[in-house]
Amino acid sequence: MTTPSVKAQRPKSVRPALVGVWGQAVPSVPIAGALVLCGVFAGRRANGIPGTVVVIAALSLLSGVLGPLRGGGVPVLPSVVFALAVLWGFSTVEARNWLDR
């Protein structure tokens, strides 16, 4: 533990980790924003919403499936469940008919 009078130097190994954190966080913000907008405009049946949501859900599913292979373990399971629910919900005949009106 360091005292306030001693300024600790950040280890060099932390820099790549911080770059990785920012590299993961920055793309997540626009994707989350796109999903929020899709959620808002899906109720209005705006054009392009189903395709956008399906692409994002498919990428999320792919990431979730590959997660355990990369050591992600159990924390990726909610992502897989949500992605499957979205893909199933938007692929039903009723949903496609409703969105196509």
Average pLDDT over residues 13-25: 79
Q: What is the mean pLDDT of residues 72-101?
A: 80
Say if 5 falls within a structural domain: no
CA–CA separation, 16 vs 91, rounded Å? 40
The string of pLDDT tens digits covering residues 41-63 is 877 777 788 888 888 888 888 88
Residue 61 lies inside a defined structural domain of this protein: yes
Per-residue pLDDT band at 4 (split at 50, 70, 90): low
pLDDT of residue 72: 65
Position 78 in a domain? yes
Range of the domain at 87: 14-100
**Total of domains in the chain:** 1
pLDDT (0 to 100) of residue 34: 83
Q: What is the mean pLDDT of the chain?
A: 78
Residue 2 lies inside a defined structural domain of this protein: no
Instruction: Please report how many Cα atoms fall inside a 13 Å half-sphere around the Cα of residue 55, on the Cβ side.
Output: 8
Query: Is residue 8 situated within a structural domain?
Result: no
| Alpha carbon distance 14, 77 (integer Å) | 28
